[in-house]
Amino acid sequence: MTVDIIGATYDKGGRARGAKYGYESLLRAGLKDLFRDLHISYETKDPIHSLLDEEQFDANIKHFNAAFSFACDLKKQVVSSLENKNVPIVVGGDHSIALGSVSGALEKKGSSLGVLWIDAHPDLNTPQVSPSKNLHGMPVAALMGLDSKDCDLWSQLMEDIVPKTKLSPCRMAWMGLRDLDEFETSFIHKNEDVFAKTKSDIEKMGWESCFKEYRKWLEKYNTEHLWISFDIDSMDPSIAPATGTPVEDGFTVEDIRNLACMLNHLLLDSSKQISLCGMDIVEINPTIDASGETEKHTLMFLKELLQNVNRKS
Ligand SMILES: [Mn+2]
């Protein structure tokens, strides 16, 4: 297994600027040492930058042009990594970058791809229902191909970025949710095929039972390739202070360790055909907090998750 480290220095998808420095900050904190320690070979790809720098405002999706061209570039890189049989690890950037990265994975893996979104927010808003019109709250809606009335820009994303095989509800899982908008709550409620666990669900049931259910669900729908999209706001702001969208009562250090171990076991389980397709690490904003705490806990999560994954036969 070879990891492709892909920097995605885009931060116009959220309200605050600065997440584009998350990539450099995670490198400085020791991302490459981590792969070396785990004996995982890696290649560092040229980071993808936002080409259009002028501030643009569109009533439906903020900074649409910049986001669109960025998503095209990132998608291309992810597709090429997967064609080389490498595992792309995309370091953002804000969460809107997942529009490009997961679209690339969907293009290559089609309906054998499952996505696990580890986040305080489901990122399920369409332009029609989004209160902020910030794209970082919309990537899952786009990947699932949800409708947004009278929005040509949204249709353009559907046609030119997200592949024809959209992410169906039975391919979409969330863990750690605790801040949902009205539309998001009702969508998750209505779609029985999705897998969604809030932070308090997990607290009540425990990690073991959560993963027992999750494994069953993955098996039921024959997921073969797993894309893990990790938003650092899933962690409590006290251990991940570099977030632009702090929500109280997030994952503790112990939660993060448990989650990573459970995922590690899932990927190493030889009776299951589930392999790691790729990952996003997003929303580290070192201009909000430069203490390095967020990076430290993110690296711990990665280290536990990737332990021995390269040795899977
Ligand atoms: Mn997010």
**Domain CATH for 281:** 3.40.800.10
Number of domains in the chain: 1
pLDDT reported for residue 202: 98
CA 142 / ligand 1 centre spacing (Å)? 13
With a cut of 50, list the residues of the chain below it in pLDDT.
none
pLDDT reported for residue 311: 84
pLDDT reported for residue 57: 66
pLDDT reported for residue 219: 94
Q: CA torsion angle for 202, 204, 207, 209 (degrees, to 10)?
A: -110
CA distance 146 to 140: 9
Look at strands 41-44 and 275-282 and give their pairing: unpaired
CA 38 / ligand 1 centre spacing (Å)? 27
CA 63 / ligand 1 centre spacing (Å)? 17
For 305, counting Cβ atoms within 10 Å of its Cβ (0-12 exposed, 13-18 middle, 19+ buried), the class is buried
CA 98 / ligand 1 centre spacing (Å)? 9
| Containing structural domain, residue 68 | 2-311
CA 112 / ligand 1 centre spacing (Å)? 23
CA 120 / ligand 1 centre spacing (Å)? 7
Q: Which pair of structure tokens corresponds to residue 147?
A: 């409708």
